[in-house]
């Protein structure tokens, strides 16, 4: 049997299935967390994916000169890169001022841009805010392309325009990764690493009686200085990145990307038409030029955004409703809550996901869920809470081993592991059960490995020492993601920083009432804006609603820890004709669970604009800990077509990628 990721669960008793899934998860975690912390390898052209090598062959972004037109250059392995120059301030009347060089990476379609089956370029955003689209396309682009492309290979479809094959383009938003100008909140990387280790030692909010005041003071120290630097123009300039880093100008950047990609497409068509006419004789209809023509100021967006990427998508749809061809919003954020704090907190379903852990653990038993205890799901939940409280009261020392140095396991470590489990249950429930069961038996080595894999050392480079603190040479753009998250979020949602100590404590208490499991973690998001002073110059007041040129497809899990189903349903009501495709599963975005139903729905939408019926609910093809839940699913694996196997493998690859950002 050819493997799809499902096959490891087939033809074995259930409890062996889950034990194997735990092993797979454990083997994958170190590599995936390693991947999440290697943005610098992308920048320097090194391998970035432990599953699919992406060698850079010495590629450097500095080799590309920014241009107001897109000029693609071969980069990495099978990709093309460009740096698109756009205005920092689109509303500046004289057209002058600073420029932003947006980093783009394109996974070319399986057919040329002049082929009748070329469907265009799908822009993607992984969330964040502050997530790198360049990283996403390098790591996940081929899997996303598999989902949106026609089922058949180009060799099998002939020259028919009824099947479409797409480019996938990831871009780094302003202030993120390879897009310039960049920024840093620290004079050099060494001071940043020291700060982050101190933050880790301080623990999460709720980890001790004085955790609030430590974090409050740290937020003031970091955010006041960082936002002041971002809001101060460089010498001789009058525009500051911190005033133009929010979501609205990034949505405008997306419009520029699709226009300039169309300009590039037209040039390819002109070249191909000339070659065709020389080879085959003059074509009086000029078919190639006709189908590749750049429709100036009328090009339509193809887009797939997840989590915060749905904020970017709904912002674009509000600003440019007539410029949409296809837009998938996956794990939908309530933008009224995001921008203006209107509506319920988004974490109200998080505890229900943890309840599912107890339910599934009870069903599979101790062989497959080491945290199992007799007495039913509530007893399993209580066993966790007992261990959780024990570690809260007294950290656990762990001696050094060949894989890690000496360490203490804290309550914060437990809660960080819990967050991963709530976001990605299929991937992390088995790991969560095994790690905590080992800890309850006195073995904390696995959690220490989980914790220390994120640690890194840093010494200033020779270039940094020569250029001096705060210089570009002292920055590593791949290490700035968390601070880009704050810069974008705090500029979008000014209310987050406009809070005093009493107001923050009230907000934190509300979060803990909404979710005992995730409330403390979620409070850190607002804490990251305390003291932030930079203000966005271009904002839109809302309402975020529109009748779009083509209807949107929204996707939501029935239980999502931070983008609940009711957010998708609300946002769907704001965009005429849109449909919510529900997935009966747990976790954050559809990428947390594989579902052929979801993947085929996305494919039909991109291929033909076909939307599902409003009442469709897709089943997940795997459940956390349980694996396949019905005999029919096992039969499905046996009867899958080759195309379905490829589609399932693409989704299983997505399941195994660790999310690092809150949205």
Model confidence over 410-438: pLDDT tens digits?
999 999 999 999 999 999 999 999 999 99
Looking at residue 457, its pLDDT comes to: 65
Tell me phi and psi for residue 286, to 5 degrees.
50, 55
pLDDT, greater one: 200 or 301: 301
Give the span between the Cα atoms of 160 and 172, in whole angstroms: 34
Model confidence over 238-288: pLDDT tens digits?
999 999 999 999 999 999 999 999 999 999 999 999 999 899 989 898 999
Q: Is 158 exposed, middle or buried, given 0-12, 13-18 or 19+ CB atoms closer than 10 A?
A: exposed
Q: In the structure, what pLDDT confidence band is assigned to residue 36 with cuts at 50, 70 and 90? A: very low
Q: How much of the chain exceeds pLDDT 70, in percent?
A: 86
Give the span between the Cα atoms of 537 and 435, in whole angstroms: 47
Phi-psi sector, 376: left (phi>0), alpha (psi -120 to 50), beta: left
pLDDT, greater one: 660 or 78: 78
Give the span between the Cα atoms of 126 and 661, in whole angstroms: 9
Model confidence over 284-317: pLDDT tens digits?
989 999 999 999 999 999 999 999 999 999 999 9
On the question of pLDDT at 197 being above 60, the answer is: yes
Looking at residue 49, its pLDDT comes to: 36
Looking at residue 635, its pLDDT comes to: 59
What's the average model confidence in pLDDT over 546-568?
98
Model confidence over 450-470: pLDDT tens digits?
888 777 666 677 677 677 776
* Residue appearing with tokens 């990307």: 257
Q: Are 581 and 616 in contact (CB under 8 A)?
A: yes
Model confidence over 92-118: pLDDT tens digits?
989 899 999 999 999 999 999 999 999
On the question of pLDDT at 633 being above 70, the answer is: no
Q: How much of the chain exceeds pLDDT 90, in percent?
A: 76
Q: In the structure, what pLDDT confidence band is assigned to residue 611 with cuts at 50, 70 and 90? A: very high
Looking at residue 477, its pLDDT comes to: 66
Looking at residue 561, its pLDDT comes to: 98
Looking at residue 663, its pLDDT comes to: 75
Average pLDDT, the chain: 88
Looking at residue 470, its pLDDT comes to: 65
pTM of the shown model: 0.90
Looking at residue 48, its pLDDT comes to: 33
Q: Token digits for 143?
A: 């899997």
* 35-49, 188-202, 557-571: segment of lowest average pLDDT: 35-49
On the question of pLDDT at 629 being above 60, the answer is: no
What's the average model confidence in pLDDT over 633-650?
80
Looking at residue 660, its pLDDT comes to: 63
Q: Token digits for 395?
A: 């950290």
Q: In the structure, what pLDDT confidence band is assigned to residue 527 with cuts at 50, 70 and 90? A: very high
Q: Token digits for 544?
A: 């975020």
* 21-25, 282-286, 350-354, 637-641: segment of lowest average pLDDT: 21-25
* Topology of the domain covering 7-17+46-178+245-335+541-655: Rossmann fold (3.40.50)
On the question of pLDDT at 405 being above 50, the answer is: yes
Sheet holding 301-306, edge to edge: 73-75, 79-87, 99-107, 165-171, 118-125, 301-306, 324-330, 553-559, 579-586, 617-619
Looking at residue 474, its pLDDT comes to: 63
Give the span between the Cα atoms of 235 and 230, in whole angstroms: 13
Looking at residue 18, its pLDDT comes to: 30
* Residue appearing with tokens 């005992």: 516
Looking at residue 161, its pLDDT comes to: 67
On the question of pLDDT at 146 being above 80, the answer is: yes
- The angle that helices 350-364 and 411-423 make with each other, rounded to 10 degrees, is 90
Model confidence over 156-186: pLDDT tens digits?
876 666 899 999 999 999 999 999 999 999 9
On the question of pLDDT at 394 being above 90, the answer is: yes
* 82-86, 189-193, 492-496: segment of lowest average pLDDT: 189-193
DSSP letter string, 120-144: EEEEEE--TTT--HHHHHHHHHHHH
What's the average model confidence in pLDDT over 502-523?
98
Rg of the chain over CA atoms, in angstroms?
25
* Residue appearing with tokens 């974008």: 488
Looking at residue 13, its pLDDT comes to: 32
Residue closest to 333 by CA, chosen among 346, 318, 315: 346
Looking at residue 34, its pLDDT comes to: 24
Give the span between the Cα atoms of 216 and 523, in whole angstroms: 11
What's the average model confidence in pLDDT over 187-208?
92
């Amino acid at each position: 049997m050819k493997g799809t990721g499902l096959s490891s669960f087939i033809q074995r008793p259930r409890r062996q299935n889950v034990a194997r899934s735990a092993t797979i998860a454990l083997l994958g975690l170190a590599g995936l967390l390693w991947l999440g912390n290697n943005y610098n390898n992308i920048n320097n052209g090194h391998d970035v994916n432990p599953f699919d090598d992406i060698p850079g062959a010495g590629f450097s972004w500095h080799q590309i000169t920014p241009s107001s037109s897109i000029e693609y250059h071969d980069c990495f392995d099978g990709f093309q890169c460009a740096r698109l120059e756009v205005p920092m301030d689109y509303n500046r009347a004289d057209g002058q001022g600073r420029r932003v060089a947006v980093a783009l990476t394109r996974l070319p379609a399986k057919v040329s841009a002049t082929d009748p089956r070329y469907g265009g370029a799908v822009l993607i955003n992984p969330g964040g805010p502050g997530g790198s689209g360049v990283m996403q396309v390098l790591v996940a682009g081929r899997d996303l392309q598999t989902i949106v492309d026609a089922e058949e290979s180009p060799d099998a479809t002939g020259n028919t325009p009824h099947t479409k094959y797409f480019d996938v383009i990831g871009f780094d938003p302003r202030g993120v990764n390879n897009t310039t100008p960049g920024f840093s909140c620290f004079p050099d990387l060494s001071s940043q690493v020291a700060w982050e280790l101190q933050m880790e030692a301080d623990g999460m909010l709720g980890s001790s009686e004085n955790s609030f005041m430590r974090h409050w003071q740290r937020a003031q120290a970091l955010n006041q200085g960082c936002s002041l630097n971002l809001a101060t123009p460089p010498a001789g300039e009058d525009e500051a990145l911190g005033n133009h880093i929010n979501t609205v100008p990034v949505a405008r950047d997306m419009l520029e990307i699709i226009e300039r990609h169309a300009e590039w497409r037209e040039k390819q068509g002109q070249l191909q038409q000339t070659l065709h006419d020389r080879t085959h004789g003059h074509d009086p209809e000029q078919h190639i030029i006709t189908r590749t023509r750049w429709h100036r100021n009328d090009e339509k967006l193809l887009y797939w955004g997840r989590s915060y990427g749905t904020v970017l998508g709904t912002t674009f749809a509000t600003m440019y409703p007539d410029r949409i061809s296809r837009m998938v919003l996956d794990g939908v954020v309530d933008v009224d809550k995001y921008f203006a704090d209107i509506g319920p907190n988004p974490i109200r379903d998080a505890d229900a996901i943890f309840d599912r852990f107890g339910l599934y653990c009870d069903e599979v038993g101790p062989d497959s869920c080491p945290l199992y205890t007799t007495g039913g799901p509530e007893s399993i939940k209580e066993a966790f809470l007992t261990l959780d409280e024990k570690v809260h009261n007294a950290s656990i020392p762990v001696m050094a081993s060949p894989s890690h140095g000496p360490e203490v396991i804290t309550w914060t470590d437990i809660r960080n592991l819990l967050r991963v489990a709530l976001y990605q249950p299929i991937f992390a429930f088995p790991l969560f059960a095994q790690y905590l069961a080992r800890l309850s038996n006195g073995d904390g080595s696995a959690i220490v490995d989980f914790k220390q894999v994120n640690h890194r050392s840093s010494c200033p480079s020779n270039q940094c020492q020569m250029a001096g603190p705060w210089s570009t040479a002292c920055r590593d753009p791949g290490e700035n993601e968390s601070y880009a998250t704050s810069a974008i979020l705090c500029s979008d949602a000014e209310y987050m920083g406009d809070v005093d100590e009493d107001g923050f404590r009230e907000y934190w208490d509300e979060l803990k009432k909404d979710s005992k499991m995730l409330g403390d973690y979620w409070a850190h998001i607002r804490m990251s804006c305390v003291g932030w002073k930079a203000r966005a110059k271009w904002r839109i007041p809302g309402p975020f609603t529109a009748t779009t040129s083509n209807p949107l497809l929204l996707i939501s899990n029935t239980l999502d820890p931070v983008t609940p189903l009711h957010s998708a349903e609300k946002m769907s009501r704001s965009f005429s004709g849109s449909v919510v495709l529900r997935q009966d599963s747990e976790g954050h975005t559809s990428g947390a669970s594989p579902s052929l139903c979801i993947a085929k729905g996305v494919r039909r939408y991109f291929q033909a604009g076909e939307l599902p019926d409003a009442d469709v609910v897709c089943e997940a093809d795997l459940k956390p800990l349980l694996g396949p839940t019905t005999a029919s699913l096992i039969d499905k694996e046996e009867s899958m077509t080759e195309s379905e196997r490829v589609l399932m493998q693409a989704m299983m690859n997505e399941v195994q990628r660790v999310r690092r950002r809150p949205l």
